[in-house]
Amino acid sequence: MKNVIVIYYTQSGQLAEIAQNIAKPLLNDEEISVTFYNIEMEKPFPFPWPKADFFDAFPESFLQIPAPIHQPSHEILSKKYDLVILAYQVWYLTPSIPINSFLKSDFGQQILKDTPVVTVIGARNMWIMAQEKMKISLKNANAKLVGNIALVDRHINHISVITIVHWMFTGKKTKYLGFFPKPGVSDEEISNSSKFGEIIVKHLKINQFESLQKELVANDAVEIRPFLIEMDKKANKMFTKWANFIITKTDSRPTWLKFFNLYLFVAIWIISPIVYILHLFSIPFKTNQIKKEKTYFKGV
């Protein structure tokens, strides 16, 4: 009997739906025992987000500062797992506070130690640098990353910004103004994600994960957009400055978070289009770099 644990944190329910669909083939196999662990915060994050709370989560999210979470049950902690499926959201270009808190907890390290891990990302579109941070956290926990699945909003960047804001601040995964597309990962893609579970089952049963990521990628588990890699890297540099500055401003923090909100607006709606145009002009001069980055970020 193979023991698998599916770990996730979700506010809207989308990530739970993704995790459950990927786990379907494992649940249907009599030789595999599947345990679900939904991370619960001692102080829950709200959903829908009040705007002030959303921006207030920025410094601790980006700086990967953990917050208290409830310990898993004794039943969960008493098992040794053959595989961990770790599903996470990206908050401010970083694994979310709940996931980061789990990764840095004693019980999280206990579950992950010496265990193969498949990460599952549910994000708007920029997840590359968050996954690089995840790799470091898993290495620190002595876990082995063997696979990665990234499910994202496939619409163009600025459309997805509008629709995700509507979803986050109203709690409604509906078509904004009646004609924008629905936010988040498409229903069809979530439903079809069970195909990744079938691939995982095959590799789990023979306890051989070396070629798992290659097969996942061949079945569209990861899509790489070179422009988003560039934006992710640039944004991480700026977020580093903002987060380290704001975290020290105890009394004036709300004011500086408003300035950060303004910076995000300018970065998304003014700077980003300019960077995209420059990116298009530069493509002929960095084809080798783009190829190398696509290969690297599709892997584990």
**pLDDT, tens only, 37-72:** 999 999 999 999 999 999 999 999 999 999 999 999
The confidence score (pLDDT) of residue 178 equals: 84
Are 85 and 118 a contacting pair, CB within 8 Å?
Answer: yes
The confidence score (pLDDT) of residue 59 equals: 97
The confidence score (pLDDT) of residue 255 equals: 96
The confidence score (pLDDT) of residue 273 equals: 85
pLDDT classification of 263: cutoffs 50, 70, 90: very high
Q: Which residues, listed in sequence order, are joined to residue 5 by a DSSP beta bridge?
A: 35, 84
**pLDDT, tens only, 156-165:** 888 998 999 9
DSSP annotation string for 91-142: ETTEE-HHHHHHHHSHHHHHHHTT-EEEEEEEESS--HHHHHHHHHHHHHTT
pLDDT classification of 111: cutoffs 50, 70, 90: very high
Average pLDDT, the chain: 94
Averaged pLDDT, 229-244: 94
The confidence score (pLDDT) of residue 142 equals: 96
pTM (2 decimals)?
A: 0.93
Averaged pLDDT, 97-116: 96
